[in-house]
Structure formats: structure tokens, C-alpha cells
Amino acid sequence: MELRLENLTKIFTNKTGTDTTAVDDLSITIDSGTLVGLLGPSGCGKSTTLFMIAGLLKPTRGKIFFGEDDVTKLAPEKRGIGLVFQNYALYPHMTVYKNIMFPLENMDVPRDEAIQRVKEMADLVGIGTMLDRKPAQLSGGQQQRVAIARALVKKPRVLLLDEPLSNLDARLRLQMREEIKRIQRETGITTVFVTHDQEEAMSISDKMVVLNFGVEQQYSAPQEMYNTPANLFVAKFLGNPPINSFEADVKDGAVIFNDQKFMQFKEVKDGSYIIGIRPEHFRVAEKDSKDKIKVDIKEIFHVGRDTMIHFELNGQNIRALVDSDSVGDNDKSVELTCKRKRLYVFDKDTGKVINHG
């Protein structure tokens, strides 16, 4: 089922009367059966957005549609959603079996079918052998599976996950990430996945939304967002190691690096801009390459297949990740280049990208 947010806004007013705009005019459409990652730094309004979709918070403005139904004013219990909380919120006094059964007890389901569904769901998430245990007797990863099973067992129209992996250790996180993706594919349920971890969002999402201070920054497929960020915030938020960003002038359409002309961008007016280049988008220039810049190597690190070079551009420390074979250990300088479309020119004030669509 398609999920649509229209101008969704949430303003919290605290006791002293000051307003916090947690979500600001958010409009996105989530296609049926897709998994959308809601990504942003802590406090940017991810949980608030999710709780508004769930109905636990009332939007200050805007509308929420499930398919054609306007559910903005609908009580949470009538929305048919499954929600996995950040710390799972499993009922501590109930066994795994009873936890998963709980949502069905409130529905009009025959007992046999309910038991059947609990068993199936437990098997799907891989906890079929632990039904008699209490949540406290489970590891974090197992608790998380129970929480997903409890959310899915009532066959919700939408599945919402609030930073479900943030309490797990690194290895388990990787494993559960794939697990969630598999369960989502198998059930084909429209899913919103909240996370502050860009790598997690990139690896799990069909599409992702980046929020900052409650404002939507970009909404697109992960790789597309990575390659064509809409603004400096998105460019900086995605990628590890982070993107290099530094000031540079554009003169006669050419970007000036260390007083040399680098690349020609006809569409960019003369002026001062922020340039962004991801470390891995640099490469050592071929002999006949015309857009290249010679830099002095300050430091050089070998990291397996790649080599990390540190150097300066316009007085800023820059990192480049290049093929190990292309630089020698004793090289004092190197000629670097990058693909035209991988050099981003951002407006200095608004942070908007200038040289893409």
C-alpha cells in the first residue's frame, strides 16, 4: 500500500512557550511494497515523523494518506500498522509466544489461525525455538526479532521501524540488516526504516529520505543520492570517509585549485563556491589527461587495495583514495583528476548543488 505524507509538520511547544519545529513541511510518497530509509542526525525529527505516521503523535499541520484513505485523524489502533520501537518495548512479563500473540488477541481471528500465525511468524524471523522464554532471557538480536514478529503478525498495512538496530553490536547489526531486508521482501510490506547511520540506510533502503532539522533534504535511491547529492548537507552526511569540502573560486567557468585552473563548468557563474569531491572519486591522472592538478603529498597510507593520500587544496586538508599501484611510496607529488560529474559545486550560502540538474 502506498503511503503519502503531505506538508506534514509537527511543532512542539514546551512549558515556557518556546516552539520546536520537529518536522517541517514534509511531503513524500512511499511506493507500495518498498522500504524507505528515514535518515538524519539525532534530533532531526525522524521518530516524530514515524510516530505521526503511527498515530501516536498528532501532526500540527499536514496530512497522511494510506493508499487513498486520509488517516490523519485516525486513532493509532485503526491504522493497521506495525511498529518496532527503538528499544523494542517487549512486554517483560510475557513469554515470546504471548508477546507475539498479543496483537492477535485484540483482533477477530480464530484461535487456531492465531496460533498458526504466531508459529509461522516466529519461524520467519528465526526464533521458533524460543517461544517459551521471557524477553530478559534473550539476546538483543533475538529480542529485536521478537519485536519484528510482533509487529508483523497482525499483517499490518505499513511497517515502521525506529532505529531498530542501534542497540546491537556491529556484527549483529550487519546480520539483522540483511534479515530485515529479507523479511520485508518476503512479506512485501511497505516499510519505513528510521536510522541515523548512513551506511545502514544506504544498504537497506530502496529509497531514502534525508532530514535535517525537520526539513527534507533529498528523497531518492541511495546510490543516486550518493552520486548526485542535492546539497552540501547530504553530501557531507553520506559516505565514509566523508566527502572533501573546501572553498574555491570559479573564474571564466573554471574551478581554481591552488591557483591553477582545474575543470571547466560553463553553467557556473564566476564567484566563490564550496567544492565537494569524495576521496574515492579522485584518481591518478593519465599522461594525456587535460583536467588535472599536481599536488604535494603530505602523508600516504596504504589501506589494503587502496592508498590514502593527504594533501592540500586551497589551504584545506584533502584526502584522496586511489589505486595502490598508481602511486609509489616515495613519491613527493602526484597528478590527480576526477570525473566531471563527481565534482560538486555548492552555493556558499544555500548549500544547494549548482552543477547538476
Partner 1 sequence: MASLIKNIKSSFRKMTTSIKTFFWDMRRAFNARKKKIGAYLDKKNLNLATKFPGWARALIYLSPALIVLSVFTFWPIINSFRLMLYEGYNMSNNTITGYTIFGNFIKVINDESFLFAASHTEGTAVMNTLIIVFISVPVSIFLSLFISVALNGIKPLKGFFQTIYFLPYVTNTIAIGLVIAYMFKADGGLVNELFGLGKFSWVEQGAEYWRSMFVLIFYATWGTLAFKIMVFLTSIQGIDKQYYQAAAIDATPRRRIFSRITVPLISPMIFYILVTSVIGAFKIYNQIVALFGVTGRPAGANYTMQSIVMYIYQYIDGGGNNLSIAAAGSLILFGIILVLTLVQMQASKKRVHY
Ligand X SMILES: Nc1ncnc2c1ncn2[C@@H]1O[C@H](COP(=O)(O)OP(=O)(O)O)[C@@H](O)[C@H]1O
Task: Give me the residues that bind ligand X (CB under 6 A), please.
Answer: 12, 14, 20, 22, 40, 42-48
Taking the complex as a whole, how short is the minimal distance between the CB of residue 162 and partner 1, in angstroms?
10
Q: Which is nearer to ligand X, 47 or 190 (CB)?
A: 47
232-249 core/surface letters (b: 16 or more CB in 10 A; e: else): bbbbbbbbeeebbbbebe
How many other C-beta atoms can be found within 10 angstroms of the C-beta atom of residue 69? Answer: 12
Residue nearest to ligand X (CB): 47
Q: Which is nearer to partner 1, 92 or 304 (CB)?
A: 92
Taking the complex as a whole, how short is the minimal distance between the CB of residue 76 and partner 1, in angstroms?
5
CB under 5 to 8 A by kind: which of ligand X, partner 1, Mg ion, none does 284 bind? none
| Residue 328, beta-bridge partner list | none
Q: How far is CA 134 from the centre of its chain?
A: 32
CB under 5 to 8 A by kind: which of ligand X, Mg ion, partner 1, none does 107 bind? partner 1
Handedness of CA 117, 118, 119, 121 (dihedral sign): positive
Quote the CA–CA distance of 61 and 63 in Å, as a whole number: 7
Taking the complex as a whole, how short is the minimal distance between the CB of residue 64 and partner 1, in angstroms?
15
- Interface residues with partner 1 (CB under 8 A) are 54-56, 75-79, 81-83, 85, 87, 89, 91-94, 102-103, 105-107, 150, 154
DSSP state at residue 352? B
Q: Which is nearer to ligand X, 13 or 116 (CB)?
A: 13
Pairing of β 190-195 and β 35-39: parallel
**Of 298, 303, 295, which Cα lies nearest the Cα of 333?**
295
Per-residue interface string for the shown chain with Mg ion, residues 39-68, x marking contact by CB under 5 A: --------x---------------------
Residue nearest to Mg ion (CB): 47
Quote the CA–CA distance of 286 and 75 in Å, as a whole number: 63
Taking the complex as a whole, how short is the minimal distance between the CB of residue 82 and partner 1, in angstroms?
8
